[in-house]
Amino acid sequence: MAEVRLRKVESLLKEEISALISRRVIKDPRLAPLTTITDVEVSRDLHYAKVYVSLYGDTEIRARSVEALNHASGFIHARLKKNVRLRFIPRLTFFADDSIERGVRLTNKIRDISAL
């Protein structure tokens, strides 16, 4: 039962944070234009959340964007308090998610091997 609630909270947070980013509520110029929330992992006590972000751009742009999001985490937390009805809104920490790039590299390697 607790796992189901945890997944629902993760989904809700992912949706709400994505909406804040897509509506350009966060006006930090360091934030990359193509920023996508790929996953949210909430701790069992609902006090902390890891937010994974897929970013388009080079390593420097990604680092600046994650830094901007972590800098804006208090603002995002306050906006979530207004928009989401939960007893606890978790403290957010943002991380770059490079799983898409890893998938592309793996696909390219498979294609290269099959061409031999």
pLDDT in tens, 75-116: 999 999 999 998 889 999 999 988 777 888 889 889 888 887
Q: Which residue has the tokens 């607790």?
A: 2
The pLDDT of residue 99 is: 79
Distance CA(21)–CA(17), nearest Å, equals 6
73-83 and 2-22 helices, crossing angle to 10°: 110
pLDDT in tens, 51-79: 999 988 788 888 999 999 999 999 999 99
Does this model's pTM top 0.95? My answer is no
Give me 67's structure tokens: 């830094």
Q: Indicate the CATH number for domain 2-115.
A: 3.30.300.20
